[in-house]
């Protein structure tokens, strides 16, 4: 193979080229080691944090490993706690022997439906309307019944007219019979002719009795048609206030229990708001402190500026096995227009020897649920939750215990949120308030 004169020059230039392969290989291997080490370090740190936060691991010296790692509070898992509010009581309610919660209800409350099926033609009331007994609340369509009622009324008129006509016939037959009797006495007519006149008179009288029965039957059918028409009018069974309008014009309504499953069962619901009572649950442990006629004070959550006078009306002789409570009904003696059924209420059962006057014991007193009071080697305390949902150990001095609450002599001013759960907490710890 022949070579050209330029080949030595090309070979010389090739020898002068820089080999960059070795230069890039060493840095690439070095950065790979750094990246792997960084990833391993991150994984190790995450594992240590999880072990410390989840399982509470400690070092050989007994100190928590969490003390070696600064973990932000926002990343820590918050314990969930149940809280209650410390309350301030004054007056006789502060001396209550039992405290129970419940809801207001009307002593007389009813869903008012129709006595016959039909479609609503008109509703005469709205929510809040006060009604008297027998006031019309709603009317069902009854055009066909109007026609039926008119027909039965016409039958009554016709039957009475027939009676009047028969009475005229009886008068005529009576006169004919009297003349026949006079002629028979003078032997002017035979016995047979006299008997014929007597028969006609007796028949007319007997016919009148039958026609009077027809009148009574027609009148009964007329009253029946009137009652059927009256059943199309839904009336108030007692004085009260409409608290719910359950049906509108054009809707069908059915009587009895069938309505709820296949249509409207009632047109309106009325309640006697002048006779309200509280149905509350009293724990079995304290039911011995409650007796019929006992005086009470009733606090309604929606009316914070007033306490109502109450009296135990009835203790229901049946316990709730699941909740270990007994239902007690407390009548409110001085209910006003601000009270409505289903409002949340608290009943304070007063001691039997408590005076009727409220002039004593009016100084405010703080109470807290007994389950919120904790204790350590120093004294009793409660965990108070601040606005940032952090815990604060507050030392308290407890006083008299009533039912499941304890009077706080010092340490709380009232209205604080305190922890009622049995959870181990620390000072300044972030918590999650359970719903």
The number of angstroms, rounded, from the C-alpha of 182 to the middle of its chain's C-alpha atoms is: 88
Question: Average pLDDT in the 189-205 region?
Answer: 89
In DSSP terms, which residues pair with 27 in a beta bridge?
Answer: none
CB within 8 Å of 279: residues ≥ 6 apart: 102, 103, 105, 327, 328, 329
Provide the 8-state DSSP code for 281.
Answer: E
Structure tokens at 293: 């006629």
Domain map of the chain by residue range?
24-71, 78-91+360-435, 97-107+275-350, 109-141+232-271, 143-230
Provide the 8-state DSSP code for 69.
Answer: S
pLDDT per residue over 233-279, tens digit each?
Answer: 999 999 999 988 888 898 888 876 544 444 567 889 999 988 899 99
In this predicted structure, what is the pLDDT of residue 294? 92
Question: Average pLDDT in the 208-219 region?
Answer: 91
CB within 8 Å of 219: residues ≥ 6 apart: 156
CB 91 within 8 A of CB 358: yes
The CA distance from 10 to 4, in Å, is 11
Which stretch of DSSP H or E encloses residue 150? helix 143-185
Structure tokens at 9: 């020059």
Which stretch of DSSP H or E encloses residue 392? strand 391-395
The mean-pLDDT minimum among 179-183, 205-209, 411-415 falls in 411-415
CB 380 within 8 A of CB 396: yes
Q: Which residues of 137-172 are buried (b: 16+ CB within 10 A; e: fewer)?
A: bbbbebeebeebbeebbebbeebbebbeebeebbee
CA-based nearest residue to 387, from 365, 409, 417: 417
CB within 8 Å of 159: residues ≥ 6 apart: 211, 214, 215, 217, 218
Structure tokens at 343: 């409002």
Structure tokens at 236: 């108030």
In this predicted structure, what is the pLDDT of residue 50? 64
- Lookup result for tokens 């209800």: 105
In this predicted structure, what is the pLDDT of residue 337? 85
Whether the pLDDT of residue 63 is over 50: the answer is no
Instruction: Return the number of other C-beta atoms located less than 10 Å from residue 17's C-beta.
Output: 7
pLDDT per residue over 68-100, tens digit each?
Answer: 455 555 556 788 888 888 877 766 666 788 888
In this predicted structure, what is the pLDDT of residue 91? 63
The CA distance from 347 to 93, in Å, is 9
CB 367 within 8 A of CB 417: no
pLDDT per residue over 17-55, tens digit each?
Answer: 555 554 444 444 545 666 677 777 777 777 766 655 554
The CA distance from 301 to 374, in Å, is 28
Please give the CATH topology (third level) of the domain spanning 97-107+275-350: Elongation Factor Tu (Ef-tu); domain 3 (2.40.30)
CA-based nearest residue to 317, from 308, 307, 327: 327
What's the start-to-end Cα distance of the chain, in Å? 96
SS (H, E, C) 311-366: EEEEEEEEEECCCCEEEEEEEECCCCCCCCCCCEEEEEECCCCCCCCCCCCCCCEE
Whole-number Cα distances in Å, 4 to 7, 9, 15, 238: 6, 10, 19, 130
In this predicted structure, what is the pLDDT of residue 9? 53
Does pTM top 0.85 for this prediction?
Answer: no
The CA distance from 119 to 128, in Å, is 24
- Lookup result for tokens 């990343």: 75
| pLDDT, greater one: 201 or 265 | 201
The CA distance from 172 to 419, in Å, is 103
For 109-141+232-271, CATH gives 2.40.50.100
Q: Which CATH architecture has domain 78-91+360-435?
A: Beta Barrel (2.40)
Total residue count of the chain as it appears in this document: 435
């Amino acid at each position: 193979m022949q070579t050209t004169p330029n080949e030595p020059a090309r070979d010389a230039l090739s020898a002068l080229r820089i080999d960059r392969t070795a230069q890039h290989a060493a840095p690439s291997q070095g950065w790979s080691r750094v990246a792997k080490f960084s990833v391993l370090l991150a994984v190790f740190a995450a594992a240590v944090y999880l072990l410390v936060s989840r399982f509470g691991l400690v070092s050989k010296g007994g100190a928590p490993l969490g003390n070696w790692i600064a973990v932000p509070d926002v990343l820590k898992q918050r314990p969930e706690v149940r809280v209650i509010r410390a309350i301030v009581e004054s007056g006789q309610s502060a001396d209550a022997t039992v405290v129970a919660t419940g809801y207001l209800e009307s002593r007389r409350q009813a869903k008012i439906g129709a006595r016959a099926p039909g479609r609503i033609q008109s509703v005469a009331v709205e929510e809040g309307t006060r009604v008297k007994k027998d006031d019309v609340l709603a009317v069902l369509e009854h055009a066909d019944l109007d026609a039926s009622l008119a027909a039965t009324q016409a039958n009554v008129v016709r039957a009475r007219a027939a009676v009047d006509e028969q009475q005229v016939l009886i008068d005529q037959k009576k006169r004919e019979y009297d003349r026949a009797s006079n002629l028979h006495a003078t032997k002017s007519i035979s016995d047979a002719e006299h008997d014929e006149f007597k028969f006609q008179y007796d028949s007319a009288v007997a016919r009148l009795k039958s026609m009077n029965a027809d009148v009574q039957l027609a009148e009964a059918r007329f009253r029946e048609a009137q009652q059927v028409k009256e059943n199309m009018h839904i009336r108030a069974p007692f004085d009260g206030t409409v608290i719910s309008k359950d049906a509108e014009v054009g809707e069908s309504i059915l009587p009895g229990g069938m309505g709820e499953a296949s249509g409207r069962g009632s047109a309106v619901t009325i309640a006697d708001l002048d006779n309200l009572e509280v149905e509350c649950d009293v724990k079995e442990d304290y039911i011995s402190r409650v007796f019929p006629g006992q005086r009470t004070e009733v606090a309604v959550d929606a009316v914070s500026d007033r306490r109502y006078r109450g009296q135990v009306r009835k203790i229901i002789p049946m316990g709730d096995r699941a909740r270990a409570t007994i239902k007690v009904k407390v009548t409110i003696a001085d209910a006003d227009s601000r009270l409505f059924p289903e409002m949340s209420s608290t009943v304070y059962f007063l001691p039997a020897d408590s005076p009727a006057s409220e002039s004593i014991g009016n100084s405010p007193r703080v109470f807290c649920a007994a389950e919120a009071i904790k204790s350590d080697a120093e004294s009793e305390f409660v965990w108070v939750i601040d606005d940032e949902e952090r815990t604060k150990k507050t030392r308290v001095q407890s006083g008299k215990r009533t039912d499941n609450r304890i009077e706080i002599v010092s340490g709380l001013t009232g209205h604080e949120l305190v922890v009622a759960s049995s959870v181990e907490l620390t000072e300044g710890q972030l918590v999650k308030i359970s719903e």
